[in-house]
Structure 1
């Protein structure tokens, strides 16, 4: 038997150390040649470390979250026969996403109707089993012996039928479906409501579920996000301005264009908003800028490299639409889809994840009424998109129901004055509320 020391190789870019973000082996495990040992993270990339030899793991360098210097021993293996000196493995690096300001890009396909229903959450939420008159795709059946409701009435059925959403809600509320009276072919949310009202004034009988305490170590991309957010808030004096926009005409234009889109991607609100930003920014160069506060230099960018905040499994990141000012809404829609998918799957390149000059952040239909986004340093502004909602509005002395949306802009007060931000938001209003003007400007 021989002892083989696998040392952390030089990952490049002048990196002196790397963080352990995941172990794929433990002491005592037997590994094959080329089997993945650990994931190591630098400032820009996650690198998969693979074993150049087969053997048994006898030592590992540390725990997840620990920093390991380049050239130090990462894993010690016990091998058959004589082991050669430490070899440098072939590195497989997948670009991670730069942590950015808070915010998300909506899923590529955003429902047209105002009654759009978001995907079913994992647990604990009220999700209708029917949308626009359509029954749920699946109905679970469970054979259960039914008892007596608290009111003393017998439920004469041998099977309980309920949609997955109703079944989940019943579990969360501690309701035995066998005790719920219902009419029709299955138990619905209204039947649960009636049961709660009849049996305790709307309060579930059982105690609320309690989660176990847990400690979650902040490592990897989540640590980078935390550090970046802390640095942005520490160094940048933020101010946020919220303005309301009437997007009724824009939504009608979007629906009309989608009906005749042919092979083009479906248009969400985002390409129109990016177009409006690109049209307005030339008159406000101090907003489309990056501030090097160590050199005391403000770089005003002629091109608009639009940062697009995106949610991934590991946290928030930003993909960059290069030269967004040169694209029309169809081109922007396609690039948004491409970059969002590449970012979520970890396939975005380094150039696609850095160099933005201003960032847009959207939660789509779940965007809330207003928000205070954190600036993606070293940029000086970020625009957050809030949800579209139908609101009664006075128009020419008459009350009308209009589709309204708030936009929230956070700015670096060292570079952007409140007056500049207010005028910029009004310039956006003139474009967003007049889609013909927005789409005809060049």
Structure 2
């Protein structure tokens, strides 16, 4: 008789606690092999395919496409070919490769304790197993919360309830296994507010507010919103900017690409200028440890760059940008940009940045005062490069002009350091030969 095993949403790393089902890759009745991807999910970092650690027939799926599930919630059940031998339900080893670490395949599974309702049975939906009945020992029963912690989807939901004086033990969770979701807490708070309003004296009727359209802040957009809000709260930022004549830089790029070989992108040249400037002004390649009240100056440059996608703004990171030449930088920017466009960036490729390059000129704008990508200390902004009147060698001429801006954390340096960094970048843009000093 087949043994039905339950596969739950695994730990996705990077502190992620939930994911949204984007697309199921298997149907009930499908035969799956060990480590075969069964579902595509979107986290606050990226979209990833989740491999199943068991081989067998899919007997059930949990959650429709578009549903958000917490880590540990059931994804699918799989009927494997034969039951494991020896031991009871709580210590039995399963056939398969074990727990899933998204992006790295699977590994051996640790034993898991499960609470089972005595006598409960679940129909098997697998092809070729019609009429077969599997015991519910493979699925967790609703948790008992009379004693011990209340099952909550995330610490944020627990904090929301605590800040509003809401007792979680009085709620009935609508998530898997009675898990309390954010929507459950918000519903309870709205209900309490309605009771308060009903008991309050009547007030003059106000005109109805515009209904509008509500767009959930979740996934990548929600993560970006949280990070930008935190940056505004914690970082005392300032911005300085300068106009620069980019004519010679554009000519240098044209000459490089005319010489043959892989094409060199403009953003790669700007990145090379950034890393040279950070070598001279390392204060801007740092972060602030607020608890220790220390500035942590970093010795490697992991260069992030802002990329706009259909799923929102993401910041892929070019690791060890300081050790790359223009050709290597061009290739890595192209690879990460394509991954951002297709939604296949991994959490590793979206984290660990130490400085960000923001080329907002692609949107046709000249200047900007961007928000620093927390916990970094600075961001270089590059506007569009357009022909403008410019005094060149004492004569008025039409030159290719760009506006450069530097937004920086005023805790890590003063305006003199920030101005020196920006002036060096502008000098390299105007006279690319300046870079030869640092090559």
Task: Report the TM-score when normalising by structure 2.
Answer: 0.61
Query: RMSD value over aligned CA atoms?
Result: 3.9
**Contact 1:65 1:218 (C-alpha < 8 Å) held by counterparts:** no
Partner of 1:400: 397
Segment drifting more, 316-325 vs 37-46: 37-46
Number of positions where the alignment pairs a residue of Structure 1 with one of Structure 2: 319
Deviations 1:151-195 (A, max 9, x none): xxxxxxxxxxxxxxxxxxxxxxxxxxxxxxxxxxxxxxxxxxxxx
Partner of 2:18: 18
Partner of 1:419: 416
Matches of 2:396 and 2:14, distance apart in 1: 64
Pick one of 371, 375, 378 that aligns with 2:375: 378
Matches of 1:217 and 1:38, distance apart in 2: 22
Deviation at 1:392, TM superposition (A): 1.1
Partner of 2:70: 68
Q: Secondary structure at the match of 1:254?
A: helix
**Contact 2:56 2:81 (C-alpha < 8 Å) held by counterparts:** no
**Contact 1:305 1:321 (C-alpha < 8 Å) held by counterparts:** yes
Unmatched tracts of structure 1, length 5 or more: 96-211
Deviations 1:342-373 (A, max 9, x none): 44445555544332221111145434110122
Q: Secondary structure at the match of 1:218?
A: coil
Deviations 1:375-418 (A, max 9, x none): 11111001111110111123455321111001121111222323
Please state if 1:336 is matched with 2:338: no
Deviations 1:50-73 (A, max 9, x none): 59654665x735884634252x43
Which structure features the higher share of helix residues? Answer: 2
**Contact 2:11 2:102 (C-alpha < 8 Å) held by counterparts:** no
Deviations 1:312-350 (A, max 9, x none): 443333333333233332332233223333444455555
Q: Return closer, same or farther for 1:389/1:332 CA change in 2, 3 Å cut-off.
A: same
Please state if 1:269 is matched with 2:269: no
Partner of 2:50: 48
Q: Secondary structure at the match of 2:282?
A: coil
Partner of 1:93: 102
Deviation at 1:220, TM superposition (A): 1.9
Matches of 2:83 and 2:2, distance apart in 1: 6
Partner of 1:186: none
Residues 283-298 of structure 1 aligned to structure 2 (within 5 Å): 283-298=280-295
Partner of 2:232: 233
Residues 211-226 of structure 1 aligned to structure 2 (within 5 Å): 215-226=214-225
Matches of 1:73 and 1:271, distance apart in 2: 44
Partner of 1:303: 300
Q: Return closer, same or farther for 1:427/1:312 CA change in 2, 3 Å cut-off.
A: same
Segment drifting more, 348-357 vs 276-285: 348-357
Matches of 2:97 and 2:216, distance apart in 1: 28
Higher relative contact order (CA 8 A, sep 6+): 1
Matches of 1:73 and 1:355, distance apart in 2: 31
Matches of 1:2 and 1:339, distance apart in 2: 44
